[in-house]
Homo-oligomer: A and B are copies of this chain.
Amino acid sequence: MKALVYLGPGKRVLAERPKPVVELPTDAVVKIGKTTICGTDLHILKGDVPTVATGRILGHEGVGIVDQVGSAVSHFKPGDRVLISCITSCGKCESCRKGLYSHCVQGGWILGNTIDGTQAEFVRTPWADTSLYRLPETADDEPFVMLSDIFPTGYECGVLNGKVSPGDTVAIVGAGPIGLATLLTAQFYAPAEIIMVDMDDHRLETARRLGATQSVNSRDGRVAERILELSGGRGVDTAIEAVGVPQTFELCQSIVAPGGVIANIGVHGKSVELHLEKLWSQNVTLTTRLVDTVTTPLLLKTVLSGRLQPLSLVTHHFSLGELMKAYDTFAQAAENRALKVVISNGRG
């Protein structure tokens, strides 16, 4: 089968690889219908993720059709249409029983990381009963590709951890796909104001179209000041960091109101300065989280009922044979005005 293979820092190839098979009784093999590329895949390609070995098939997002199941899989059978979660959960360990699937002792983020991933014609999914989600027969499968990772990530790490509530003022720093998924799911809770921050005017325009009430381009150097103005001098109830660099985390610290929350989503490569000399008395909460995907069933319901429209984040389409080109497009997101790219298997 065709698969996108990591060959070490800076190197990827669309190669022919053997079709995976069921290895353990709890495995399934899924024929990929659609997959996508994540910012994390670009990090891997930069060599920033040491757990990814050379030769690994990338990708941790996708929808498809169950092709084979192991003998212990009881909830799925070949032919079932499924969503593949980016987080593998055994459902049995102490972490899983507490809803902390991201820290499953045998799972967590392993697809496209420590085992082969979804940017291929087929993928082996361990612990299938608790890591796949059934899709309705009638639904178009494309919106659900967005539910493998970015929507649960924005919702769990940003919106839920950030305790976004009706009437609140929320700032989301970073208007990439994750920031925009956060923006869309933040609206589940009717905040009064959502202020979007980015350096790319096109993305801010998209954010306003998708429900941001205010947007601030951070290039002007007065972003903290402007957000304080927009929040009546008080600061924001929730500041969501969706970039992953020290400057944006610094910004969050300077705009959060007493009693507020800083919810970190960004993948940080280095430590940051925490201003406890100021914040110790500000009654703030700061959260970090690798997505658990515990809200996938809930998000499925919001998509099926029309409350959530994930396709608003899809900008480009490719066939599986065009995966290299899809990467090129996604890697130059600004020039290409790319958010999420969808890669289809067998219909290109």
Q: Which residues of A contact B (CB under 8 A)?
A: 25-26, 71-72, 74-75, 91-92, 94-100, 102-103, 129-130, 165-168, 185, 187-190, 192-193, 213, 244, 249, 258-259, 264, 266-277, 279-290, 292, 294, 297-302, 304-305, 307-308
Assembly CA distance A276 to B75 (angstroms): 33
Across the interface, which residues of B come within 8 angstroms of A282, CB to CB?
288, 290
How far apart are A257's CB and chain B's nearest CB, in angstroms? 9
Q: Is the interface of A mostly helix, strand, loop or mixed?
A: loop
Assembly CA distance A286 to B261 (angstroms): 10
Assembly CA distance A287 to B283 (angstroms): 7
Are the CB atoms of B288 and A280 closer together than 8 Å? Answer: yes
Across the interface, which residues of B come within 8 angstroms of A273, CB to CB?
271-274
Are the CB atoms of B277 and A274 closer together than 8 Å? Answer: no
Q: Please, could you name 21 A-B residue pairs with CB atoms under 8 Å apart, sorted by A? A: A91-B97, A92-B130, A94-B297, A99-B99, A100-B259, A103-B283, A166-B298, A167-B301, A167-B302, A190-B302, A190-B308, A192-B304, A192-B307, A244-B280, A269-B277, A270-B277, A272-B274, A272-B276, A281-B290, A283-B287, A284-B288
Assembly CA distance A264 to B282 (angstroms): 11
Assembly CA distance A165 to B165 (angstroms): 11
Are the CB atoms of A305 and B259 closer together than 8 Å? Answer: no
